[in-house]
Amino acid sequence: MRITVTVDGTGYTDEVEPRTLLVHHLREKLGKTGTVVGCDTSNCGACTVHLNGQSVKSCSVLAVQADGCEVTTVEGLARDGQLHPVQQAFRDNHALQCGFCTPGMIMQSIDLLADNPDPDEEAVREGLEGNLCRCTGYQNIVRAVRDAAGHMRPGAGPEAEQVSDAERTTTGVGGDA
């Protein structure tokens, strides 16, 4: 099937097998290897991306379901060399060690802050329950998310990632189109 997906501001048109998962499309076809696969039962959340501004586990979405959609990955967060406040907070608070769960953690954290701009510890823990980390014990991740909340301007959530038409490029590299 032929699909067009906008990923981190770039449009890609490709032929995909109907069974292809979005995460495999991102990694193998588009070279967006910042998003990773940690399990095969949708438990770990390492593959979390935003689909039209909402967080999804990209192992649980077929690539064809993303046809016509806007996908934001961890690679698309920094703007003009400026880290997203959640990225910065993860660094400042030592919220990562091996870093494998980090792309998913960051994307899920942004989503939870969009719903609740000032979460307490319990709310952060509830919001990240579907993302597993084996290194940190979560304590610094929770701290980072609350720290980021303090640095994010009101209303800065996934909507802020929506790329305006002017910014969007139309031909992707690595696509079959």
Partner 1 sequence: MTAMAEPEVGRARVRKEDERLITGRTRWTDNIALPGLVHMAFLRSPTAHARITAIDTSAAKEMPGVIAVYTGDDLDPGGEVGMPNAWPITPDQKTPRRPMLAQGTVNFAGEAVAVVIARSAAEAEDALAEIDVDYDDLPVVLGVDDAVADGAPLVHEDMGTNTSAEWIFDSAEAGSGGDVQQAISSSEVVVTRRFRQQRLVPAFMEPRSVVVDPTAPQLTMWSATQVPHILKTMVAMTLGLPEHQVRVIAPDVGGGFGGKLAVTPEECAAVVVAQKLGKPVKWTESRSETMVSAHHGRDQMQDITISASRDGTITGLKVDLLADMGAYLGIVGGGVPVLGAFMFNAIYKIPAYRFSCTTVFTNTTLTDAYRGAGRPEATFAIERIMDELAAELGMDPMELREKNWIKHDEFPYTTVSTLTYDSGNYEAATAKAMQLFDYDGLRREQRERRERGDRVQLGIGISTFTEMCGLAPSRVLGSLDYGAGGWEHAAIRMLPTGKVEVVTGASPHGQGHETAWSQIVADQLGVGFDDIEILHGDTQSSHKGLDTYGSRSLTVGGIAVVKAAEKVIAKARKVAAHLMEASEDDLEFADGKFTVRGTDTSTAIQDVALAVFAAHDLPEGVEPTLDSEAVFDPENFSFPHGTHLCATEVDTETGRVRLRSYVCVDDIGKVINPLIVEGQMHGGLAQGVAQALFEEAVYDEFGTLTSGTFADYLVPSTMDLPSFTTDRTETAATSNPLGVKGVGEAGTIASTPAVVNAVVDAVRHHGVDDIEMPLSPMRVWRAVHKGDAAAGGPGAEAGGGLGSIDSAHGGAQ
Residues that bind partner 1 in the complex, under the rule CB under 8 A: 17, 19, 24, 27, 31-41, 43-44, 46, 73-75, 77-78, 83, 87, 90-92, 94, 96-103, 106, 121, 124-126, 128-142
- Nearest distance from C-beta of residue 60 to partner 1, angstroms: 13
Distance of CA 20 to the CA centre of its chain: 19
For partner 1, the closer CB: 124 or 149:
124
Q: Where are the alpha helices (DSSP H) in 83-169?
A: 85-92, 102-115, 121-127, 139-151
The answer to whether 112 and 124 have CB atoms below 8 angstroms apart is: yes
Of 107 and 114, which CB lies nearer to partner 1 in the complex structure?
107
Distance (Å) of CA 66 to CA 62, 105, 125? 7, 21, 28
Task: Name 4's bridge partners.
Answer: 13
- Nearest-approach distance from CB 74 to partner 1, in angstroms: 4
Q: How far is the CB of 157 from partner 1 (least distance, A)?
A: 18
User: Nearest distance from residue 51's CB to partner 1, in Å?
Assistant: 17
